[in-house]
């Protein structure tokens, strides 16, 4: 996994990783624990947590009961959103399968010069 310096600086600005100590020349000195924190943030973002949420959760301490409840609430919201997206994609898949089947049947007929697949797909998805 690679993370750009700009991403790390952004993580610092939003508060998901602590600001590191600096050398006299101004170079950042990250502790080893910064790697684990960056990995946690990247994985949590992939699941659907926002950086703002993560900054709040991490500042509160993820072991505290109120923070745990907030994290659970956010995870439940994300899961509901994923379920909604899966349902929508399942419907799109079904519509595409039906349109392709109809298209295949129409193009098998010698009298059909054009089955107008794009129009068939657009009409079906608009309904």
21 φ, ψ to 5°?
-70, 160
Q: Which two tokens stand for residue 31?
A: 């502790």
Are 121 and 96 within 8 A, CB to CB? yes
Q: Is residue 54 part of a domain?
A: yes
28 φ, ψ to 5°?
-75, 140
Are 127 and 92 within 8 A, CB to CB? no
Q: Is residue 124 part of a domain?
A: no
Q: Is residue 35 part of a domain?
A: yes
Cβ neighbour number for residue 84 with a 10 Å cutoff? 10
Q: Is residue 22 part of a domain?
A: yes
Q: What is the CATH number of the domain that holds 46?
A: 1.10.1660.10
Task: Tell me the C-alpha distance between 13 and 27, whole Å.
Answer: 16
| pLDDT at site 121 | 73
| pLDDT at site 93 | 95
In the three-class reduction of DSSP (H, G, I as helix; E, B as strand; rest coil), residue 21 is classed as strand
Q: Going from the first residue of the chain to its last (127 residues), give the mean pLDDT of each consecutive group of 10, the final group possibly shorter.
A: 90 94 94 94 96 92 77 96 97 90 78 67 62
Please, which residues have CB within 8 angstroms of residue 36's CB and are 6 or more apart in sequence? none
Domain count, the chain: 1
- Can you tell me which residue has the tokens 């949420």? 53
| pLDDT at site 89 | 97
Range of the domain at 15: 1-60
In the three-class reduction of DSSP (H, G, I as helix; E, B as strand; rest coil), residue 22 is classed as strand
Q: Is residue 12 part of a domain?
A: yes
| pLDDT at site 73 | 95
């Amino acid at each position: 996994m690679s993370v750009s310096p700009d991403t790390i600086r952004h993580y610092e600005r939003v508060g998901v990783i602590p600001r590191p100590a600096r050398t006299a020349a101004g170079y950042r000195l990250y502790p080893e624990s910064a790697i684990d924190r960056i990995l946690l943030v990247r994985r949590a973002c992939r699941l659907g947590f926002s950086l703002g949420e993560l900054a709040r959760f991490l500042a509160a301490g993820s072991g505290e009961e109120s923070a745990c409840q907030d994290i659970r609430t956010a995870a439940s919201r994300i899961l509901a959103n994923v379920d909604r997206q899966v349902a929508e994609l399942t419907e799109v898949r079904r519509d595409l399968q039906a349109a392709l089947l109809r298209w295949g049947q129409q193009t098998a007929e010698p009298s059909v010069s054009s089955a107008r697949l794009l129009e068939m797909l657009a009409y079906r998805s608009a309904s």
